[in-house]
Amino acid sequence: MKPKHTFSIITQSGLSSDEWKVLGLLYQPLIGSDAFSLYHTFYHLLNQRNYQSEVFTNQFLMDLLNIKIDQLTEATQKLEAINLLNTFKQNEHTVYQLKSPLTPRGFIQDTVLGQFLLTEMGKNMYNQLTNIFKVEKVDLTGYTEVTKNFDDVFNFIDGHHFYDSDVYLGKKSNLGVQIKDQINYEAFVEKLPNRAKKPILMSRLTKDTIQKLVFVYEFSIDEIVDLYIKTVLPNGDIDLGQLSFKAQNYYQNKKKDLPVVSETKALNDTETAINYLKTVSPIRIIELYAKDDYQMMSTDTVMQLMERNQVEIGIINALLLHILKFKEGHLPHLTYLEKVLETWIKKGIRKTEDAYHEVLNKSNFDDKTKKSTSKTKQVTKNPQWVDDYLEELKKEFEEGK
């Protein structure tokens, strides 16, 4: 990033006063005033008719905010890390995509953000801030809900031209782990019977769940279609939790013969290892390292971990690989895994490369490996935080048994 380089800004929707309140009271304590001011400035440089900006230079932004280039870089990175900004570069021009903040409930319940805020602010300040967003629940005891469903009022026209929500204005949900599309979604819809072709198929959550199930269990398009048909209700509604449960059972019963990737091949070469972590299904990690008795339970834990935490899939795979080797094939409960993930995030591990270099490539996973190491062989020295973290990890695991 240099002062003479240019940038432009895009987003998909305006922000409400409630969203600015979340940004100011919940996000700002974590990202600081520079990053908050940068987000605020980016937003107001947008043309409110199409939510796109003109082209500006970094120098213009530095003068506007009265900050230096290194402060601008740091503020940008903080917005990226907390999932408020996506950055795209081409030569000397950058496009910044502003992302909407989580709702107050979503922020507080988010495993990483909620806990991070509590850690940074302390319990008393945290309670003061979160109490601002509480509302009194209205008692509806004795009332009967008579709300009409979409298909009670409108006739849904069957068709295959489902729109791509990415090209329209409107808020996007801040979901969990994001993965590349595994199947052609329109082809998936086409294969469904007419009774199943309901508006819920256009929901981002539905699409995301379908793609994740295909990725995790390595389903073919016909397999996920069959599972969807068996799960969908007669009126076309779908319980995504039930779909995930059936997908898990189907996989366990079928138990496909998947080709095994050797650990040595995956971890000896750095580039190969990182690419492996970024692309492999977590189910492969489970099958390689989890004991057979735990595999059924482990696949459910993995799906929850992916749905609740917005990190790269490579981070999830690195975490699974690390814990399963460290605990000799036993995958702990979700709370334990999220606590480890929280530790990684606090230490700056936000990319697959970070997880590989800072943890997988520097940690000795068991005492047997240490004892069998030749005295003349050079052993990589762990950063102090990794040593402390591994010791704490071992202690907590033993206490939780």
DSSP assignment string, 221-246: HHHHHHHHHHHS-TTS---HHHHHHH
Q: Is residue 43 part of a domain?
A: yes
What Cα–Cα distance (Å) separates residue 267 from each residue in 258, 276, 356, 363? 19, 9, 9, 13
Predicted pLDDT of residue 170 = 41
Predicted pLDDT of residue 7 = 93
Q: Please check whether residues 271 and 372 belong to one and the same domain.
A: yes
Residue 96 β-bridge partners: 9, 87
Predicted pLDDT of residue 295 = 56
- Chosen domain end from 102, 128, 163: 102
Q: Please check whether residues 238 and 333 belong to one and the same domain.
A: no
Residues 310, 314, 317, 318, CA torsion sign: negative
Rounded to whole angstroms, the Cα distance separating 229 from 349 reads 40
| Token pair recorded at residue 240 | 């995504």
Q: Please check whether residues 91 and 193 belong to one and the same domain.
A: no
Are 247 and 210 spatial neighbours (Cβ–Cβ below 8 Å)?
no
- The strand pair at 52-53 and 46-47 is best described as antiparallel
- Count of domains observed in the chain: 3
Hunting for tokens 């489902």 — which residue is that? Answer: 162
Q: Please check whether residues 280 and 367 belong to one and the same domain.
A: yes
Q: Please check whether residues 82 and 60 belong to one and the same domain.
A: yes
Q: Please check whether residues 269 and 390 belong to one and the same domain.
A: yes
Q: Please check whether residues 334 and 279 belong to one and the same domain.
A: yes
Predicted pLDDT of residue 68 = 92
Q: Please check whether residues 71 and 91 belong to one and the same domain.
A: yes
Helix axes 69-81, 58-65, angle to 10 degrees: 90
Rounded to whole angstroms, the Cα distance separating 313 from 280 reads 9
- Enclosing domain of residue 219: 176-254
What Cα–Cα distance (Å) separates residue 323 from each residue in 212, 341, 359? 22, 11, 11
Q: Is residue 151 part of a domain?
A: no
Tens of pLDDT along the chain (401 residues) come to 888 999 999 987 788 888 899 899 999 998 899 999 999 999 999 987 778 899 999 999 999 999 899 999 999 999 988 889 988 988 999 999 998 888 888 888 766 777 788 888 888 888 888 888 877 777 778 888 788 766 667 655 444 444 444 444 444 444 455 667 788 888 898 888 888 888 888 888 888 888 888 888 888 899 999 999 998 888 888 888 788 878 877 877 765 454 444 443 445 567 778 888 888 888 778 777 777 655 556 777 777 778 777 778 888 888 888 888 777 777 777 777 888 888 888 778 878 888 888 777 655 443 333 333 333 333 444 445 555 655 655 555 555 54
- Chosen domain end from 102, 126, 159: 102
Predicted pLDDT of residue 169 = 44
- Chosen domain end from 77, 102, 127: 102
Query: Looking at residue 92, which CATH number applies to its domain?
Result: 1.10.10.10
Q: Please check whether residues 91 and 180 belong to one and the same domain.
A: no
| Token pair recorded at residue 29 | 């304590």
Predicted pLDDT of residue 164 = 45
Residue 157, C-beta contacts closer than 8 angstroms, at least 6 positions apart: none
Q: Taking the CB of residue 122, how many other CB atoms lie within 10 A of it?
A: 11
Q: Is residue 119 part of a domain?
A: no
Q: For the CA atoms of 211, 215, 220, 223, what is the dihedral angle to 10 degrees? A: -70
Q: Please check whether residues 235 and 314 belong to one and the same domain.
A: no
Q: Please check whether residues 243 and 317 belong to one and the same domain.
A: no
| Environment class of 351 (CB within 10 Å of its CB; exposed 0-12, middle 13-18, buried 19+) | middle
Hunting for tokens 């996973």 — which residue is that? Answer: 365
Predicted pLDDT of residue 200 = 82
Q: Please check whether residues 277 and 380 belong to one and the same domain.
A: yes
